Amino acid sequence: AQSVAQPEDQVNVAEGNPLTVKCTYSVSGNPYLFWYVQYPNRGLQFLLKYITGDNLVKGSYGFEAEFNKSQTSFHLKKPSALVSDSALYFCAVRPHNTDKLIFGTGTRLQVFP
């Protein structure tokens, strides 16, 4: 079965420190990979995507993610966290043969001042 795993329900980090939110996937073939962020009472906002090419993808608000095919991972990273980054983050995968996204269960990022 195709799936996305976000092993951490919550990640806590101090402001100014680097952050990592983990994501692994299980799909056949080469998928398209996405990260979305969700603020309270707001819709999902697109952060970045991996389609093909360079394994390191840079996105909005200073976030980046690295596609690792051998580990089937697409971890989200930011060199220096901000309090305003506190939100719910979702990893999603779109298999090549479909137009629907498969989401992970989400990771709540809490950045402390």
- The residues that touch other proteins, with contacts defined as CB under 8 A, are 4, 32, 34, 36, 41-46, 49, 51, 90, 92, 94, 98-106
Please state the closest distance from residue 102 (CB atom) to other proteins, in A: 7
Nearer to other proteins, 32 or 82 (CB): 32
Please state the closest distance from residue 47 (CB atom) to other proteins, in A: 11
Please state the closest distance from residue 36 (CB atom) to other proteins, in A: 8
Nearer to other proteins, 80 or 110 (CB): 110
How would you write the chain as a 3-class SS string? Answer: CCEEECCCCEEEEECCCCEEECCEEECCCCCEEEEEEECCCCCEEEEEEECCCCCEEECHHHCEEEEECCCCEEEEEECCCCHHHCEEEEEEEECCCCCCCEECCCEEEEEEC
Nearer to other proteins, 30 or 80 (CB): 30
